[in-house]
Structure 1
Amino acid sequence: MTQHSVIVYTSDQCSHCEKVLAKLSEWNIEYKEKNISQDKSYFKELQSQKIYGTPATFINDEKVLGFQERKLKRTLGIQDAGRFQDTDTIHFS
């Protein structure tokens, strides 16, 4: 699998942040967590990107705001076994 630079901006008591971190761990993706509640300089970094909420995940140069599992998978190049796989066949009559 391709190595990605992953940074996740989180805050205390953020259930969506916990979901993002759990999925990244489940997928064995290394990441750096920056908690804006514990370090205000991280919040300033987010503000400079015009982002004011968490979670905010940066994968290489792409950002994923909130908990968007399918977008995280797509950005990381993880095959999604969901209903929109390339192997789906559509028949027209």
Structure 2
Amino acid sequence: MSTPVIVYSNVNCPFCEQVKGFLKEQGVDFEERNIAHNDQYFDELTGMGFQSVPVTVIGEHKILGMNTTRLKKALSAE
């Protein structure tokens, strides 16, 4: 897959861990952007209209939470 995958996450976030685990199981490389470690990542997240994590960005798809159906659909579209 040539489209970059970005996961916005936070510390102690079980749903973030689920999303990252799912992507690893699927063999998908991704960049993790932890909003607790970098204020710019939080600004990017709120700039997209989100206030909570995880948010997974796959191309034009922005997926809030752990939603395997939407994640699989976005991954297959790219």
Superposition TM-score, scaled by structure 2 size: 0.92
Distance in 2 of aligned mates of 1:58 and 1:24:
12
Would you say the 8 A contact 1:12–1:35 is kept in 2? Answer: yes
Distance in 1 of aligned mates of 2:18 and 2:53:
12
Superposition TM-score, scaled by structure 1 size: 0.78
Identify unmatched segments of 5+ residues in structure 2.
none
Aligned length: 77
Tell me by how many angstroms 1:3 deviates.
2.9
1:3 aligned partner, one-letter code: S
Give the structure with the higher percent helix.
Answer: 2
Distance in 2 of aligned mates of 1:49 and 1:74:
20
Q: Secondary structure at the match of 1:67?
A: coil
Q: Secondary structure at the match of 1:52?
A: coil
Would you say the 8 A contact 1:4–1:76 is kept in 2? Answer: no
Tell me by how many angstroms 1:40 deviates.
1.2
- Bigger radius of gyration: 1
Q: Cα deviation per residue 1:2-34 (whole Å; 9 max; x = unaligned)? A: 433201000000000000000000100011000
Distance in 2 of aligned mates of 1:28 and 1:19:
14
Q: Which runs of 4+ in 1 moved over 3 A?
A: none
Q: Which residue of 2 aligns with 1:53?
A: 52
RMSD: 1.3
**Residue 9 in 1 paired to residue 8 in 2?**
yes
Q: Secondary structure at the match of 1:18?
A: helix
- Equivalent positions of 1:17-36 (< 5 A) are 17-36=16-35
Would you say the 8 A contact 1:20–1:67 is kept in 2? Answer: yes
Quick one: percent identity of the two aligned structures? 34
Identify unmatched segments of 5+ residues in structure 1.
79-93
